[in-house]
Chains A and B, each alone.
Chain A
Amino acid sequence: MSQIALELKDVKKTISKKEIIKGLSFNVKQGEVYGFIGPNGAGKTTTIRMIVGLMKLSDGDIKVLGKSIQSDYSEAAKNIGAIVENPELYPFMSGWKNLIHFANMYEGISKDRIREVVKLVGLEKVINDKVKKYSLGMRQRLGIAQAILHKPSVLILDEPTNGLDPAGIREIRQYIKDLAVKENVAVIISSHLLSEIELICDRIGIIKHGELISERSVNDQDDSKSEETKQKVLLDVEQVDHAEGILKELEIPVNREGGQLFVELTRQEVPGIVKQLVNKDIAIYTVATTKVTLEDEFLELTGGNVIE
């Protein structure tokens, strides 16, 4: 559908003889929001630092709109905007001066453009205050402002909603989606909040031990899974023991958790089972398919442990 904005080709990074990134390849298209997740020490931050040019590649190449960050750094960097980890800005300067400072590092960013961005992130009232007086949320917004000043084609956000209140999170989420859809920006997000990633991203890549172990679309998930594959279905019934007996008779594996029953069914099987239970005079309060959350899948893929 659209052009590839960011391309990683067999990227490797060796730090003091230890291979941290072992041949990482993926593409992000224009207008796509890509979630980049992985457990602690998987190489997420290292990868992001290589994309933005803070670290050099040991092998492979990274291209931004076809321009290599190794051979054509300044052309590539022109099209990248980023917040790497926390948005650390100059605390002793006002938000406005901070933006002027970063705008000076590009060509042709007008004061009007800066004002426009300030308005976009909703910092008009405090833009002349010193950054040290800002709350974490305000700093996060200023961080986003400096990342989009120059209208980059690739936006890299490390923990973009960290420190924001729920209203702020929703706003930023909406804003990122808008950027992707309207401005055709490729957005790469890494976040602790897997539910957040799920809400915001079109595609997700999971990295472990410096390798991409899974990559998939977020939206495809429901359609493909619902028809053929078994889903976990929750049954909330009055006569739990009785219902469990009936299900066992039907040779359906059943799990009892507290006062609720969980069974693995395909979509087509659900009405039949419900009918059977109703016929046996079981009072049913709830039948619901429980979505396999990204978190479950993530833990399954990465083998648990702490999530970065």
Chain B
Amino acid sequence: MSRFFKLLFNELMKIFVRKTTWVMYGILTVIVIAGIILTITTDQIETEYSDNWREELKQENENLAEENAEMKRGSEESGIDFGVTYFEEQINKNNYYLENDIKPLNYGAWQHVLDNAGLVSLISLFTIIIGSGIVSSEFRWGTIKLLLIRPVSRTMILASKFVAVLLFALFTLIFLWIVSFISGAIVFGFEGFNPSIVLQKAEGLVYVPLVGEVLTEYGYNLVNLVMMTTFAFMISTIFRNSSIAIGLGIFLMMGGNMVVQIFSEYDWAKFILFANTNLRQYETGNVWIDGMTLGFSITMLIIYFVVFIVLSWVFFNKRDVAGQ
């Protein structure tokens, strides 16, 4: 087993010694900070509630109702119905606080981390890039000839590469948390060690611990990351070409939902990978295709995952490394 950790160390060293990787971390940091600046300058968030928070919430609701009425007028003119608007949802939440006599949380580090969950798609993008290169680059550099002549099985080398890619995603995710948390704490403040907030769920408004919500939110986003990275890893192993893998990986990550929508009228659409990557649909109750269940989706995800891994393994193990 220690042999495997040494191989893993090698792969991580090759990832983190390169400038490209650090550029990715730079981009992530810049985006988090840009988000903060945008939040402050546009004054989107009521950052603080004083002891007089009940009055403040009522005032906020009045403003929101006004904006909502304005928007409704606009949508009636254009004939588009938005359903429950963001403003209405916000008013409902504020009312929940008032009815249950809970002082709303000031915006701070934890909520900032939660709001940055969308950046997981950026991490997915980076991980797809790393995963697409980790096998094919060895072929491009010619170093595959020095890698596969060692007393280590090809299976072990491939496994160390795959695990290294997942670890890269994990490290980047932790980095995002830390940067979001620290910058959020500095700029907006710290909400305490186990704060709770009101959230809109399928069963209605609920008052939940924020930390748990952070973990679920990121967890849902990670499903797509893992699946698309594994897919890109497979493509790169089969075609030994990182461009194809990056291109396909990113295209499907972005366009996967579209694919499902195009075929959604067919019964077999539920077997498409992208119909199953969004597990949140079972929590909100807004299931894409009738007849799908959480169990079904998880089974489908496992089947796709195993197929991707097995195909990568077969191609990597059986292939002769011929000359250029």
Chain A residues with a Cβ under 8 A of chain B? 15, 45, 49, 52-56, 73-78, 80, 82, 84-93, 97, 100-102, 104-107, 146
Cα-based distance from A93 to B17 in the complex (angstroms): 7
* B151 adjacent to A105 (CB under 8 Å): yes
* A90 adjacent to B150 (CB under 8 Å): no
Cα-based distance from A227 to B126 in the complex (angstroms): 73
* A49 adjacent to B320 (CB under 8 Å): yes
The answer to the question of B1 belonging to the interface, with a C-beta cut-off of 8 Å to chain A, is: no
* B14 adjacent to A88 (CB under 8 Å): no
Q: Which residues of A contact B178 (CB under 8 A)?
A: none
Q: Which of B3-11, B24-32, B59-67, B282-290 contacts its partner?
A: B3-11
Q: A49-B322, A73-B153 are in contact. Are A88 and B141 (CB under 8 A)?
A: yes
Q: A88-B141, A88-B142 are in contact. Are A54 and B6 (CB under 8 A)?
A: no
A291 to chain B, nearest CB (A): 34
Nearest to B318 among chain A residues (CB) is A56
* A84 adjacent to B149 (CB under 8 Å): yes
* A146 adjacent to B148 (CB under 8 Å): no
Chain B residues with a Cβ under 8 A of chain A? 3, 6-7, 9-10, 13-14, 17-19, 141-143, 145-153, 320-323
Q: A54-B145, A55-B320, A85-B323 are in contact. Are A92 and B150 (CB under 8 A)?
A: no
Cα-based distance from A29 to B4 in the complex (angstroms): 34
* B145 adjacent to A56 (CB under 8 Å): no
Q: A89-B143, A90-B14, A90-B141 are in contact. Are A105 and B150 (CB under 8 A)?
A: yes
* A85 adjacent to B151 (CB under 8 Å): no
* B9 adjacent to A104 (CB under 8 Å): yes
Q: Which residues of A contact B143 (CB under 8 A)?
A: 88-90
Q: Which residues of A contact B152 (CB under 8 A)?
A: 74, 77, 105
Question: Which of the residues B3, B7, B17, B142 comes within 8 Å of A86, measured between beta carbons?
Answer: B142
Cα-based distance from A55 to B322 in the complex (angstroms): 7
* B151 adjacent to A54 (CB under 8 Å): no
B316 to chain A, nearest CB (A): 13
Q: A101-B13, A101-B14 are in contact. Are A146 and B146 (CB under 8 A)?
A: yes
* B150 adjacent to A77 (CB under 8 Å): yes
Cα-based distance from A88 to B13 in the complex (angstroms): 18
Nearest to A87 among chain B residues (CB) is B146
B159 to chain A, nearest CB (A): 14
* A106 adjacent to B145 (CB under 8 Å): no
Q: A54-B320, A55-B320, A104-B10 are in contact. Are A92 and B146 (CB under 8 A)?
A: no
* A74 adjacent to B148 (CB under 8 Å): no
B158 to chain A, nearest CB (A): 14
Q: Known pairs A104-B6, A104-B10. 8 more at Cβ < 8 A? A: A53-B149, A54-B321, A74-B151, A74-B153, A76-B151, A77-B152, A86-B142, A97-B13
Q: Which residues of B contact A52 (CB under 8 A)?
A: 149
Question: Which of the residues A84, A87, A106 comes within 8 Å of B151, measured between beta carbons?
Answer: A106
Q: Which residues of A contact B145 (CB under 8 A)?
A: 54, 84-85, 88
Nearest to A92 among chain B residues (CB) is B18
